[in-house]
Chain A
Amino acid sequence: MSERTLKIALPAISVCLFLVGWSFYVRTAEVSAFVLPPPEAILVALIEMVQTRELWDHALVTVTEAVSGFLIAVGLGISLGFIMARIPPVEWAAKPFIVLLQLIPKIALAPLFILWFGFGLESKIVIAAALAFFPVFSNALQAFKSVEPGDKDVFTILQANPVQRFYLLDVPSALPVILTGTEVAVVLAMIGAIVGEFIGGNEGLGYLAVAHLQNLAVPELFAVIVILAMVGLLLYTLIGRLRQSFSAWHVSSETA
C-alpha cells in the first residue's frame, strides 16, 4: 500500500477501533449508561438532535457570540499591536496592564462580565473577545516590531507616506504571524462563549449542555460536545485555510 493510502486508511482504522473498544467496554464492564453511554447511543441522540430546530438556534447563538468576540479581538489586537509597535512609549505605559491581564486566568473574569453586561449575548461576546484578544495582540505587536529594517529603508528611499507604508509593507510583512495568532484566538473565542453560557443565560450550546446534564440526559450531553467540536473544527479550518493562502504570498494586489 502506498504512503498516501496509509495516511488516509490508518486514522480511519484507529478511530473505528477506538469506538468499537469503547462500546465493548461499556457493555462488558457494566458501566452505568448515566456515566458513560456507548457511542451508538450518542449517535442516536445526535441524529435526533440535528433534526430539531432548537439545536440549530442554540448553535447559531454560540457561533454568533464566538465569531463576534473573535472579530472584536482581531480588530483591537491588530490596532493596539500596531500602535504600540509604532509608538514605543505607548507600549511602555501599557506594559503593567498587559502583564497583569496576561497573568489573570481570564476565565475567572467571566462571572464579572456577566454581572456587568447581563445574561444576554453581550456578556458572552465580551468573554470570547477577552480570551481571544491576547494571542492576536501579542503576535501583532511582535510582527509589526519585526518588520525588517532593510525593508523600511527601501520605503524611506521611495518616500512612501505612512498610509502606503502601512498597507504595502507593515501589513503584508506581519500578516503570516498575525494569522497564526488568530488560529489560536478562534479556539479561545469558542471556549469563552461556551463558558459564558455555562454561567448564565438560557441559550447557546453551552447552556444546552448544562440543561442536558441537569436532566441527566447523558447521551445528549455527549452529542452537544460532539457538535461543539465540529463547530470549533469548522472555524479553525476556515482560519487555517485563510492563513495558508496568505502565507503562500498569494496576497497580491495587482494580479488578484
Chain B
Amino acid sequence: MPFDARQDRMEINVSGLTKVFGDGPSAVTAIKDADLTMERGEFVSLLGPSGCGKTTLLRIVAGLESPTEGTVEIRGNAVWNGTRRSAAATRPVSMMFQEARLFPWFTVVENVALPLRIAGVGRKERLERATAICETVGLKEFLHHRPNALSGGMRQRASLARALVTEPQLLLLDEPFGALDAMTRDALNIELMDVCARANVTTILVTHSISEAAFLSDRVVVLAPRPARITAMIDMPFDRPRGLELQQSMAFQKMVGELRQKLSEGE
C-alpha cells in the first residue's frame, strides 16, 4: 500500500505511550511504550489478562486518563497536550463501559437522548433520534421504563444505543458485555458487529475473552502484564459478514489456539 493512501485513511495513531501511576517506590507502570495505528473502519481488540494495561490504554485514547509519556492522535489531532485533554480531538469518540452507566433519574429514551441533549439538539429531534436507535437495538417496548426495571442485557442495549446515537466515528468499548450471560453476549456481539460495519465505525474493544476478540476483530492486539506492554498483533483473516457458525470452524479454532499461545508466552 502506498504510504500516502494509508496516511489518508489513518484514524488513530498511538505512539510510545507510557502511563505510570504514583511515584517513588510505590509507582506502578500501567502501560509501557505502546504503539498502535488503526485505519478507518477497523475493529481492533485489546486482549490480555487483568493488569496488562489494556483498560488504561483505552482510557488514554478516550481522553479520560492523561499519558505520562507518548502521544495519541485521532485523525491527526492530538488528544493530549501534556495533561490537558483536547475537546476537539475527542469529539468523534463514543465509549461504553462494563457497567451500563444509565442514569436512574431518566427513562430509557431520555438516557439514550442524553448525548444529543448535551450537544444542544432540540427536545423533539433528540427524542425522535433516540427512539429510532432504541428500536434498532430492540428496546421498542422499554422506551419509557426506568433503567432499574431492565435486565442487565437490556441495560447494555440501552447503553449501546446511547453510544451510537451521536453517530460516532470512533467507538471505544471497555468490556461492555463482560458481565452478561453467554447467550445475551453472543446476540449483542452480532448486533455490535452489524452496526460497526454498516456505519464504518472504527472500534477498539477491551476484552479478556479470546474467542470474543477473534470473532469480532480485524486485528487482535495481545498485551501482557509485569511489565504491562503490547506483545503481539495478529490479523483475523475471516470474511465478513461473520455469523456464530464461524466459531465452529477449524480455522477459527486454530486462531484461538494461536492467540492462547501468544497470551501464555507473555506471562
Contact = CB atoms under 8 A, between A and B. Distances in A.
**Interface of A: prevailing SS:** helix
Contacts of A159: 87, 90-91, 118-119
Contact of B107 (A151, A157, A164, A254): A254
Contacts of A255: 107, 110, 144
Given A151-B103, A153-B64, A158 B114 contact: yes
A101 B62 CA distance: 44
Contact of A252 (B64, B94, B107): B107
A160 B120 CA distance: 10
Contact of A150 (B97, B113, B144, B148): B97
Nearest to A164: B118
A154 B105 contact: no
Given A150-B99, A153-B97, A158 B105 contact: no
A57 B148 CA distance: 48
Interface in A222-256: 249, 251-255
A158 B118 contact: yes
B124 to A, nearest CB: 11
A156 B64 contact: yes
A254 B123 contact: yes
* Chain A interface category by residue count: 20 to 34
B47 to A, nearest CB: 22
Contacts of A252: 105-107, 110
A151 B135 CA distance: 25
A146 B94 CA distance: 24
A254 to B, nearest CB: 5
A145 B123 CA distance: 30
Interface in B63-98: 63-64, 87, 90-91, 93-95, 97
B162 to A, nearest CB: 8
Nearest to A254: B110
B64 A157 contact: yes
Contact of A249 (B93, B104, B117): B104
Contacts of A249: 104-105, 146, 148
B101 interface: yes
A153 B118 CA distance: 14
Interface of A: 150-151, 153-160, 164, 168-169, 172, 249, 251-255
28 contacts: A153-B64, A153-B95, A153-B97, A153-B101, A154-B95, A157-B90, A157-B94, A158-B114, A158-B118, A159-B87, A159-B91, A164-B118, A168-B114, A168-B117, A172-B103, A249-B105, A249-B146, A249-B148, A251-B105, A252-B105, A252-B107, A253-B106, A253-B110, A254-B106, A254-B107, A254-B110, A254-B113, A255-B107
List of 8 A-B pairs having minimum Cβ-Cβ separation, nearest first = A172-B105, A157-B95, A160-B118, A158-B118, A249-B104, A254-B110, A249-B105, A154-B101
